[in-house]
Each structure stands twice: as structure tokens, then as C-alpha cells.
Chain A
């Protein structure tokens, strides 16, 4: 073979020649130890260096030259001191003198595989990876804005106009807050895939649509009409938007359930941009984006105002119903109790998160809380069997509501008040005071979303809860993540030490159920075992839904 690989060495040992024979297309170049450093870079085809000198200065010189030339080095060591020296010099491989040809060959192979990249080559690669990350969003695979602008430049100039659509996906951040970033990532991926599918389906249209992801939770569409075709009209765009909205919604519901699908809304703003040769094209486009984003925001505000109106009428008509989600013993799977989940009868207020967000904006939290609590407590008689507990969510705000706890409950000891760890408790002494009063009345307490990072174990201990409900993000894929398992184990131990019970919610898969059970979690809640079941919606409320 003419283009053979060369192993440069100062070893005169026979075994190295034998080792070389085992490698395909290699030959040996021998030098004395003193000549070796200078020889590096002069012998064509050199791919590795094998050194056996016991002179530290020569060894260092050889390794430095070799690494400078991007060549891996194997060092033959006499003793421990030499081995240390070799390791210090960060050689690719070392072996002890007297190794068999097989081992030498294997070490040589390993050194080549490791192939120290040169410093320059390395930083190049890091930069390339980072550069690509900047061009395409790693999660959705969609191009980022600068890429989009470059791509649309020529078409925009040629056609003279462009329509920018700004899609504001509201409440994606809520998903992250509740379910953790892994869930949000998954939902964003689904969204992007749905958007891409949608674009592929609308391809026959002679105009061109491009999409970009802004890295947060918004998408930007560029619509460049084809030559000779009029730009899409307002009506066409509205129609397209609602089709897209339905498509994304369906996909998200199929992949992540209605709970998550009900959470978010999409608001779309639009701007028509005309080419102006006096103004830089990027600036024109950025202005268009800003205009479209503002338009989306004002639509959002209008929608919100409508939702507040919906909420007011719901409060008037008591238009809230309760889904009861079973909480079962981890070992026997028998029902321990139910969490009451309040939902709006009106479709726009179906999700409790949305409903309470609207109430917070409109300063109607107490009213809504009272209604939800009242409805939930009705279930004690109508839905629960004797001995089963009812878990209801309370906001720390509720504690300052003078009417809170005044709802006459025949047996408060069947009621567990869930306090979320998420909402900061501002007036702690007052809060504790209220807590004590309610506890004396017989109510029990659960700390919700524990382990989500808002409060440490210390502040959980302060509340002396009867139940600790683990944050959903800890349960999601717990079977594959050992850090989550470790955290849950810590919580279970903590609970056992404090006489509390741990509840794992959001258990969706058999593996997750097995994992939490094995970790000693006492109670389990999740779709894997039960879905929330609605109590019958009273007829009077169905009418509310119809008339709205």
C-alpha cells in the first residue's frame, strides 16, 4: 500500500513491530528518543506516535510536538512515576513496558479513536454547533427569524408586499409552571409539528408561507403572495387562522389530553408590509412583526374582556361544576378520597387555570372561590361515600376572605384543604393563625405542588400538613429519572418522620405508578388509575351554557 499510515516511535522493541503487523496498512518509522520530537511533522503519513523514553524532558517535547500536530500519543511506561507523568501530559493512551503485541495494537487503536482534536479544530466545532443552534430552534426544528428574513428577502423585493402573521400562544408558560419544562417542550414540539403539517397541506396555494419560531412561545408566519396573485384578504386569513387553530388544538388534545388543550388560546395579529427601497428590508419586516404582535395583543385584550363578562354571568348563574378525581391507596388501589376540580360550564372557562386567571384580573377571586368551594362541598353528600375524604383547592388569598370556613360543613374532618406551594404566602403569622382555627374545626391540610422549588422542606414542615402532594413535574417520567426518584424518596422519608402522607398526582403510566409505589408513596392520583368523573351537571346550568 502506498498511502500507508505511519507510526513514529523511538522503541526498538520487537513486539511493537508485531503489533503493527496486526493493523492493516501500517508501517513503522523508528528514530532515537532524542531525534523523535524533531521528526514529528517530517514523515509523511504519520498518524500516531509511540514513545518509550524515560527522559521526562524528551517525553514532554515529544508529546507537545505531537499534540501540536494533532497526533495521538501512546506512552510506554516503566513504572508508576512514568505513568503519572504520561497522564499529566494528557497522552491519549499509556501502557506498561512488556505489553503483548495484542495489547499494544489495541491501545494504539483506542488512541486513534480518541484522536485528540487540536484546540483550533475543537473550538471550530463548538462554534459550528452553536451557530446551527442559533439558526434553527433545536426543539421545533423551525428556522429562527434571521434565517426567515434572509429567505424571504428576494421574494419580498420581487413581489413588493408581504403579510406578517403573529401567532401569540397564550398560557404555554402555565404548562411549564404546572407540569414542568419537559411537558412544555413536548407540547411545543407537537405544536410545531402541527404547524408544519398545516403548511404542507396548504401547499397547493400559489403563494408562499414561511414560519419561524421566536424561541419563546410565539410563531411568526410570512405570507408572500405569488406573482400575479392578490395577497390574501382579511377573510382568507381569518379562515386560515381558525383552521390552523383547530388543527393545533386537535393535535395537542390527541397527544397531551384535553386538560392541557383547554389551557391555551391562540391570538393572531396581522400586518401588511409594502416594500420601500429607501428603508432597509430587515427594518421593514421587524416593524411589520411589531405591528402584527400589537394587533395580536389587542385581540387578546378584547378576548379577555369577553371572558370577564363570561365569568360574571357564570358567578351569577352559579355556572361551575365539579369533576371529582379519585385519590387511591398505592398498595390496595382502593379509593381514599377525591380531589374536587372546578370547571366553568361555559366553554371559554372550562379550564380551572383559565377561570381563576380571569377572576384574578377582574378581582373576583373570592367570589369564584366561594362558588367553587360551595359546589365542591355539595359532592360530600352526592358523590362521596362515607369515610372518603374530599380534597379542595384553596388559594392563600382565600384565608383572608372573612367568609372562608363559614360554609357550614357537617363534618370538616372529611375535608382536606390543599394549599399550593406556588403562591407566596405574604402575611405568614396571620395565615398560620387562620390555619390553626380551621384545624381546630377539624379540617386537614395538604401542601400542593411540593418539591416544585417554591418552598423548601423547612417551610413545608412549618405548615404541619397531613398530606404532601408532590409536584406533577416530579412524577412525569419518574421511572427513567433517578434524580426524581431520589427527591421523592426524600419527601416520603420526610413525611414519615412528620406523620404525613405523600400523594403522587399526575401518574399517567404503569411505569410511573410502579416507581412511586416502590418509593413508598402512600396515595396516588392520576389518569393511569382513574379519570376525573363529572357529577351530573344540573339542568339549570346546562341552560346557562346554551344561552351564553
Chain B
């Protein structure tokens, strides 16, 4: 439940179990979570939810995570502030370059443990705060 006024997070994953685990874990930590099951849904929800952070799975049918990331980052207002964290097995150098090309800010390597995920979310929120302050 969102009580502490934490910023909203959009979780995008076509695997319901994954999405659900992430959602439960972050919700108990007080983040308002919205889940999207695919790229289209994520983009449709983007303007309504105005997430501070998007946790974006790369491998999805239809629009994949890369495309969704690029489109979100091009959004005239939200694109500047939103932080996109790719959830993927990004161990190859090329994948990381691809992620940079698409404008991603961070990534969580799959399979991940929830503590790492929470730490990643936190460091990106901290970065967002300093960016806003300056």
C-alpha cells in the first residue's frame, strides 16, 4: 500500500508470475505499483501513471523492451525525468551498448534477487532526486 508518498513504479513483464513477485515485494515496501503485461499496455499506461521508474522486461512479444524504452524516453515531458531500468540477462557488452542506445539508465540482471532489485530502484530514485534538485 502506498502510504509514504513514494513515487509510482511501472512494472512491465509478460510473465505474470514475475510481475506479481516484483509487485508484491515493492508494494510491501510502500511503492505504488502498476503492472503492464506488454509493451502496448505499458505505453498506454505511461501518461496516466507518470511513473518515476519503469522496470522493463526486454523479451516481450509485440513491442519489446528496447522499443518501449526508446518511445518512453522520447516522450516530450515524461521522457526527461523517467528512469528506465531494463530487466534482462544483459551480460554481453553489446547488450549494454544497445541499452545505452535506447536511453536506458540502469539494468537488473536476470535472474535477480529481490534485494538487488530494491537497491537498484533506490539508487535510481536517489539519482532522480539529485537531478531534480540541481
Contact = CB atoms under 8 A, between A and B. Distances in A.
Contacts, number: 77
Given A87-B20, A106-B1, A122-B44, A482 B101 contact: no
Interface string A78-114: 0000000001101000000000000100110010011
Contacts of A45: none
16 contacts: A87-B20, A90-B16, A90-B37, A122-B40, A123-B44, A125-B47, A126-B43, A138-B75, A139-B74, A141-B76, A181-B101, A481-B105, A482-B123, A486-B107, A487-B93, A487-B97
B2 interface: yes
Give the interface centre of A117, A125, A490 by most chain B CB atoms within 10 Å: A125
Nearest to B86: A483
Contacts of A126: 40, 43-44
B10 to A, nearest CB: 11
Contacts of A451: 97
Interface string A225-239: 000000000000000
Contacts of B104: 483
A456 B45 CA distance: 38
A483 B44 contact: no
Nearest to A479: B127
A482 B47 CA distance: 25
B44 A487 contact: no
Contact of A125 (B44, B76, B97): B44
A134 interface: no
B115 interface: no
B105 A483 contact: yes
Interface residues of A, number: 37
A486 B40 contact: no
A387 B75 CA distance: 51
Nearest to B43: A126
A251 interface: no
A457 interface: yes
A487 B124 CA distance: 17
A110 B44 contact: no
Interface string B77-97: 001000000000000011011
B64 interface: no
Contact of B100 (A110, A122, A484): A484
Contacts of A180: 100
A453 B97 contact: yes
A87 B45 CA distance: 19
A180 B97 CA distance: 11
Contacts of A456: 93-94
A122 B41 CA distance: 7
Interface in A48-103: 87-88, 90, 103
Given A110-B1, A480-B127, A483-B107, A490 B100 contact: no
A114 B16 contact: no
B32 interface: yes
Contacts of A482: 105-107, 120, 123-124
Contacts of A490: 93
Contacts of B20: 87
B99 interface: yes
A403 interface: no
Contacts of A473: 100
